[in-house]
Amino acid sequence: METSDESLAIAAATGDRVAFSTLLERHYDRIFALAFHLTGRQADAEDLTQDICAALPAKLASFRREARFTTWLYRVVVNAAHDRRRRLATYQKATEGWGDWEVNRRAVIDEGEDRSTWLMQAMSALGNDLRDTLALILDDLTHAEAAEVLEVSEGTISWRMSEIKKQLAQLRAAEEQV
C-alpha cells in the first residue's frame, strides 16, 4: 500500500530523507507539467521546476496536515511561477532606461507571435490570472480546489472560467474568419 502524500510530507518536514525523496519522485512529473502549462515554454518550465526543487525542502516546513498535499504543492508551483514572471519582468525593467521600455515591449510582442501553436497563442492571450486558473482546471482540479490553490473564492474561479470560455470563443471566431 502506498503511504499517503500527506504522511510523507509530514515525515519529510521532520527530516525523513527517504520520505522526501519518495514524495518528490512521485510528483516531479506533475510539477513539471503544471510548470509547462503556466509558462508555455519547455525551457522556462525546466528552470521553474529547478527553482521549485531547490526551494521545496525549506518550504515543506510550512506544510500543515489539514491541507491536501497536492493542493499545497500546486500553490507552491503557482507562487513560484508568479515569482518568476515578476522577477524576469522587473529585472529587465531595472536594467533599462524608460525610453527603451516601450521599444522593448513591442519587440517582445513581435517575438511572442512566433509561438506557433494555437494552444500557446490561446494560453498567452489570456492574462496571467486567467491562465493560472485555466492551467489548474485543465489539470483536473475542481473549481473549489483551484480556488484554494489560488487563494480566491470559488465564485471568482467560476467567473474566470466563463471569462476564459468567452475569450476562447472569440479567438476561435477570429481564427475561423482567416
Partner 1 sequence: MSDDLDDLKAALTAETPKPDSARKAANLALAQKNFDALQGSRDDTRLTTDRPRKGLFSGVRQMFAMTTTRGGLVATSALVAVGLVTLTPLGDALLTPRDVSDVLTRPAPEVVQKEVEAEPTEPLVEVPVPAPAPVAEERASDVAAQIIGGVVLNEAVSGQMRARTARPLSAAPQAAQAPAFSRLADDQIAPLPESSTESFANEPANPVKVVGEEPVSTFSVDVDTASYSVIRNSLSNGMLPPADAVRIEEMINYFPYDYTAPDGDEAFRPTVSVSQTPWNADTQIVQIGIQGTLPDVAERPPLNLVFLIDTSGSMNQANKLPLLKQSFALMLGQLRPKDQIAIVAYAGSAGQVLEPTPAGEKEKILNALERLEAGGSTAGQEGLQQAYSIAETMQEEGEVSRIILATDGDFNVGLSDPEALKTYIERKRDSGTYLSVLGFGRGNLDDATMQALAQNGNGTAAYIDTLSEAQKVLVDQLTGALFPIADDVKIQVEFNPAAIAEYRLIGYETRALRREDFNNDKVDAGDIGAGHQVTALYEVTPVGSPAILNDPLRYGVAEQTVADSDGLGFLRLRYKAPGEADSALIEMPISADLTPAPDAGFAMAIAGFGQLLRNDTYLGDWSWGDAIALANANKGSDDYGYRAEAVQLMRLAQSLSAQ
Judged by CB under 8 A, the chain residues 52 through 111 that form the site for partner 1 are: 53-59, 62, 64, 66, 75, 79-80, 82-97, 100-101, 103-105, 107-109, 111
Letter for the amino acid at 42?
Answer: Q
Q: Running DSSP on this structure, what letter comes out for residue 126? A: S
Contact 125, 171 (CB under 8 A): yes
Q: How far is the CB of 141 from partner 1 (least distance, A)?
A: 12
Q: Grid coordinates representing 124?
A: 498567452
Least distance from partner 1 to the Cβ atom of residue 1, Å? 24
Contact 35, 136 (CB under 8 A): no
Among 7, 70, 71, 124, contact with partner 1 (rule: CB under 8 A): 124
Taking each helix axis from N to C end, the angle separating 128-138 and 69-94, rounded to the nearest 10 degrees, works out to: 150
User: Which residue is associated with the grid cell 529585472?
Assistant: 91
Q: How far is the CB of 4 from partner 1 (least distance, A)?
A: 20
Q: How many CA atoms lie within 13 A of 173 on its CB side?
A: 6
Per-residue x/- track, 1-20, partner 1 (CB under 8 A): -----------x--x-x--x
Count of chain residues binding partner 1 (CB under 8 A): 85
Q: Which of residues 24-53 bind partner 1 (CB under 8 A)?
A: 24-25, 28-29, 32-33, 36-37, 39-47, 49-51, 53
Q: State in angstroms the smallest separation of the CB of 2 from partner 1.
A: 19
Residue 61 CB contacts under 8 Å (≥ 6 apart), including other chains: 13
Q: Kindly tell me which residue out of 65, 151, 153, 159 binds partner 1, with binding defined by CB under 8 A.
A: 151
